[in-house]
Amino acid sequence: MAKNQCISISVIKRLPRYHRFLGELLTKGVKRISSRELAQTMKLTASQIRQDLNCFGGFGQQGYGYNVELLYHEIANILGLHDKVKTIVIGAGNLGKAIVNIDFNKLGFDLIGIFERDPLLQGTTINGQVVQCSQQIEHFCKENQVEVAVLCVPKESANTLVELLISLGIKAFWNYSHYDIGVYYDDIVVENVHLSDSLMTLSYRVKDFKKNNEIKF
Amino acid sequence: MAKNQCISISVIKRLPRYHRFLGELLTKGVKRISSRELAQTMKLTASQIRQDLNCFGGFGQQGYGYNVELLYHEIANILGLHDKVKTIVIGAGNLGKAIVNIDFNKLGFDLIGIFERDPLLQGTTINGQVVQCSQQIEHFCKENQVEVAVLCVPKESANTLVELLISLGIKAFWNYSHYDIGVYYDDIVVENVHLSDSLMTLSYRVKDFKKNNEIKF
């Protein structure tokens, strides 16, 4: 039974990692694990793990540890991975192609359409789905009650596209564009993946690492 | 003048976003901005901005605000964006292709090689660079003192690849594989981009949004 009062976004962001590690343990046939052993495997502290999982009601038993399969499925439930939220991907360039190859179905989403404005890419097939003309988006969303849009488009296109999608009732975005949707719209869910921000963070950390170790690479 | 004592990783992770917004203001010809105006633009609080930038010595002047160009360049300096850290990308599938099209040069890195084990992709050109056979990695790293590796490979390949790269002196990874490098190695820099973890977080947030708004999408 989940007790959801204490859940911060940083706890939520750690859950997928628990899910991955528990999935690996399951594959290896591990039936149960103590918080200490799980901590060693994941390079966390045992108290961090107990604290995180207590947010959802614990799942562990004193002297027994965690039932790996149960915990794996409980985390999947918490994350909504058994849901089938209707989703479209917009942009079928290299990034869009890479994204479409992710197993959406295992992660809570039902990927039902891919759209692209470049005529050369329209009609091609990615992971079993035919790429449609982006002018079809409006009709498609109205017909299919699309819930989530994945934006694999440049910043310049994102502005008017987001306006259209929100007018069509889309409430959640997985956003790879550099358009900061959350700055302009309230009451929507935006999960940003800003790849160049991540690369800049790496740049800082590399520079800092060199300085602290007084090395030239 | 930077005073680096108080910098947490969460402050660092916000710097690229400041850099992006300041770049846009520069393009629009904005010369100076108050922390209140910058806060409105970025949907942060003015005190959060002052607190973040104070970590590096402030840059603002009472009654004047921030000099946009100066602050933009200072943040670029802090992030090391003028460095040219020698970098290779491994994996030239769709994701690798998308990654290679990022402007590494503007973000602190010098992308000097792309490697792939699929013979069909070897010899092709991405963004002006010829894709090399992954068996050349060892020789290339020894010849060129490569400092950073970008891993666009599946988890199964990452294990032995990371072992090789670390033996060749590589100390930093931009890691798109699901192999948790930091669990197995100390004294290296790893910036992970786990796309499916991000998608699972979105799944949770969509589910939570629906519950809180008591709506069916």
Shortest alpha-carbon distance between residue A55 and chain B (Å):
14
Out of B107, B171, B193, whose CB is closest to A200?
A: B107
In whole angstroms, give the CA distance from residue A151 to residue B143. 40
In whole angstroms, give the CA distance from residue A209 to residue B171. 9
Residue A2, chain B, CB below 8 Å: the answer is no
* Helix A137-144 with A155-167: angle, nearest 10 deg: 40
In whole angstroms, give the CA distance from residue A26 to residue A147. 32
Integer Rg of chain A from CA: 21
- Give the percent of chain A with pLDDT over 90: 77
Q: Which of A11-20, A46-55, A105-114 has the highest mean pLDDT?
A: A105-114
Q: Which helix (H) or strand (E) holds B35?
A: helix B35-42
**What per-residue confidence (pLDDT) applies to B5?**
54
Measured between beta carbons, the chain A residues lying within 8 angstroms of B81 are: 200, 203
Shortest alpha-carbon distance between residue A204 and chain B (Å):
4
Task: Please check the confidence at residue A74 and state whether its pLDDT lies above 80.
Answer: yes
Residue A191 · residue B200 · CB < 8 Å: no
In whole angstroms, give the CA distance from residue A206 to residue B4. 15
Instruction: Give A62 or B1, the one with higher predicted confidence.
Output: A62
Mutate to test the interface with B, among A104, A147, A200 (most CBs of B within 10 A): A200
Taking Cα atoms as reference points, which of A126, A192, A95, A154 lies closest to residue B152?
A: A95
Average pLDDT over residues A36-45: 91
pTM score over 0.90: yes
DSSP B125: E
Residue B174 one-letter amino acid: W
Contacts of B217 (CB under 8 A, 6+ apart): A85, A86, A145, A147, A169, A171, B210
What phi and psi, each to the nearest 5 degrees, are found at residue A132? -100, 160
Shortest alpha-carbon distance between residue A149 and chain B (Å):
11
For the record, the structure tokens of A74 come out as: 């409980």
Q: Which helix (H) or strand (E) holds A32?
A: strand A32-33
**What per-residue confidence (pLDDT) applies to B22?**
94
**What per-residue confidence (pLDDT) applies to B2?**
46
Residue B176, chain A, CB below 8 Å: the answer is no
For the record, the structure tokens of A185 come out as: 């719209």
* Contact assignment for B83 to A207 by CB distance below 8 Å: yes
Task: Please check the confidence at residue A2 and state whether its pLDDT lies above 80.
Answer: no
Mutate to test the interface with A, among B8, B24, B200 (most CBs of A within 10 A): B200
Whole-angstrom distance between the N-terminal and C-terminal Cα of chain B?
A: 51
Q: How many CB atoms within 10 Å of residue A61?
A: 10
* Contact assignment for A201 to B12 by CB distance below 8 Å: yes
Shortest alpha-carbon distance between residue A104 and chain B (Å):
8
Contacts of B28 (CB under 8 A, 6+ apart): none
What phi and psi, each to the nearest 5 degrees, are found at residue A156? -60, -35
In whole angstroms, give the CA distance from residue A141 to residue A5. 34
In whole angstroms, give the CA distance from residue A154 to residue A175. 11
Return the SS3 of B65: strand
Is ipTM > 0.90 here? yes
For the record, the structure tokens of B65 come out as: 């605000």
**What per-residue confidence (pLDDT) applies to A213?**
82
Of the pLDDT bands very low, low, confident and very high (cuts 50, 70, 90), residue B120 is very high
B 44-103 near A (Cβ less than 8 A): 78-81, 83, 85-86, 93-95, 97-99, 101-103
Average pLDDT over residues A188-207: 96
Task: Please check the confidence at residue A201 and state whether its pLDDT lies above 90.
Answer: yes
Out of A20, A78, A107, whose CB is closest to B199?
A: A107
Q: Please spell the DSSP secondary structure of A36-97, one letter per residue.
A: HHHHHHHTS-HHHHHHHHHTTT--EETTTEEEHHHHHHHHHHHHTTT--EEEEEE--SHHHH
Considering only A42-46, A112-116, A174-178, A210-214, which range has the smallest mean pLDDT? A210-214
Instruction: Give A89 or B58, the one with higher predicted confidence.
Output: A89
DSSP B216: -
In whole angstroms, give the CA distance from residue B152 to residue A102. 13
**What per-residue confidence (pLDDT) applies to B205?**
94
Q: Helix count (H) and strand count (E) of chain B?
A: 9, 10
Average pLDDT over residues A3-25: 84
Considering only A6-15, A56-65, A197-206, B139-148, which range has the smallest mean pLDDT? A56-65
Beta-ladder partners of A174 = A150, A191
Q: What angle do CA B90, B92, B95 make, to 5 degrees?
A: 100
Task: Please check the confidence at residue A169 and state whether its pLDDT lies above 60.
Answer: yes
* Contact assignment for B205 to A12 by CB distance below 8 Å: yes
**What per-residue confidence (pLDDT) applies to B4?**
52
In whole angstroms, give the CA distance from residue B177 to residue B198. 13
Q: What is the dihedral of CA A215, B4, B6, B9, to 10 degrees?
A: -50
- Give the percent of chain A with pLDDT over 70: 93
Task: Please check the confidence at residue B91 and state whether its pLDDT lies above 70.
Answer: yes
Contacts of A167 (CB under 8 A, 6+ apart): none
